[in-house]
Amino acid sequence: MTDQEPRPRPRLGVFKFASCDGCQLTLLDCEDELLPLADEVEIRHFLEASGAVAPGPYDLSLVEGSITTPEDARRIRQVRADSRHLVTIGACATAGGVQALRNFADVEEFTRTVYATPEYISTLATSTPVSAHVPVDFELRGCPIDRGQLLEVVTAYLSGRRPDIPDHSVCFACKRRGTVCVTVAHGTPCLGPVTHAGCGAICPAFGRGCYGCFGPARSTNLPAYIPVLRRDGMDERDVTRFLRTYNAAAFEEPSVRESRP
């Protein structure tokens, strides 16, 4: 077993759909880990980092962004076909993103109002997560994603194990961190009890309620929580706006999702 050719490194692709690039930036932001990562994987497609692209297949593809155009819908199928593992990163790719606000409105009316020549605009009526179009191996949440969680997912795929990404509520992290609950002690509206952990419960640690950047936790009971938001001063419109931010469409789904195995 000596003088072998270096073992082939797993091939990584990073792809962008409708998004702000923030999640890809999180990968670039990995600083200390970025060079070791470049040693361990062959980065074949990552336009945010380099214009040099190499064709698939890819062992691991990280997909940012939601599907908002017919062209997106075609291209994501191609990415899927080229990828052994497809991991979506961020609220856009896993839940449609803030641009899923269009799902509650009339997109044609928008294009007529905004563009001088709306005929040139080819867009879908909805912004949908990647999983609505192709099978996804893992969904990493957040707006933006958490650096540590991204490294965990990449490391897990490289070593062939399941990523350790808990899907319980933000409250778990908030309590472990020793933060005083802003809902109970201050009456500040906080989406933590219904939001997926992952950020480390940053906002409550600074006295703010959770904004729900990571979308719904795997087990939630949103209807039971609305009265608390109302008690803490939100009217019906406030509640709707609170829920329709980075994961605009996701909190609106039937909220008791726990029967899923």
Partner 1 sequence: MTDSPGTERAVLDRDGLGALVRELRARGHTVVGPTVRDGAVVLDEIDSADRLPFGWGVEHEAGRYRLRPREDGAAFAHSAGPQSWKAYLHPQRLREWTADREADGRITVRAEEPARVSYAFLGVQPCDLRAIAVQDRVLGGGAYTDEGYRGRRARAFLVVAECTEPGATCFCVSMGTGPGAPGDAAYDLALTEVVDDGGHRFLVRAGSPAGAEVLAALPRRPADGATAEAAREAVADAATRMGRTMPGTDLHALMAGTLEADRWDDVASRCLTCGNCTMVCPTCFCTSTEDVGDLTGDHAERWRRWESCFDLDFSHLPGGPVRSSGRSRYRQWLTHKLGTWHDQFGSSGCVGCGRCIVWCPVGIDITEEAAALDREWSARTLPPTAPAEPGDARGRSPGRTGP
66: DSSP letter: B
Stretch binding ligand SF4 (CB under 6 A), from 10-18, 40-48, 69-77, 189-197: 189-197
Q: Which residue, 23 or 203, has its beta carbon nearer to ligand SF4?
A: 203
In this structure, is the dihedral angle defined by the CA atoms of residues 152, 157, 160 and 164, taken in order, positive or negative?
positive
Q: Is the dihedral of CA 224, 225, 227, 228 positive or negative?
A: positive
Report the relative pairing of strands 11-16 and 83-89 from DSSP bridges: unpaired
Give the Cβ contact number of residue 117 at 10 Å.
Answer: 7
**DSSP code, position 177:** T
**Which residue in the shown chain puts its C-beta closest to ligand SF4?**
192
Query: Between 137 and 232, whose beta carbon lies closer to partner 1?
Result: 232
Contact partner, 154, from ligand SF4, partner 1, none, Cβ < 5-8 Å per class: partner 1
Helix (H) or strand (E) holding 11: strand 11-16
Among 13, 204, 212, 216, binds ligand SF4 (CB under 6 A): 204
Q: Exactly one of 210, 222, 243, 250 binds ligand SF4 (CB under 6 A); which one?
A: 210
Residue 213 interacts with ligand SF4 (CB under 6 A)?
no
- Name the segment binding ligand SF4 (CB under 6 A); options: 50-58, 63-71, 179-187, 253-261: 179-187
Tokens of 229: 């938001």
At 161, which amino acid appears? R
Q: How far is the CB of 120 from partner 1 (least distance, A)?
A: 45
Among 14, 62, 134, 190, binds ligand SF4 (CB under 6 A): 190
- 181 binding ligand SF4? (CB under 6 A): yes
Residues near partner 1 (CB under 8 A) are 33, 36-37, 39-40, 151-152, 154-155, 158-159, 161, 164, 166-169, 171-172, 175-176, 178-181, 183-187, 190, 192-194, 207, 218-221, 224-225, 227-228, 256, 258-261
What is residue 106's three-state secondary structure? coil
CA 165 to chain centre: 13
Helix (H, G, I), strand (E, B) or coil at 71: helix
86: Cβ contacts below 8 Å, ≥ 6 apart: 61, 63, 79, 80, 130, 134, 135, 136, 137
Residues that bind ligand SF4 (CB under 6 A): 170-171, 174-175, 179, 181-183, 190, 192-193, 201, 204, 210
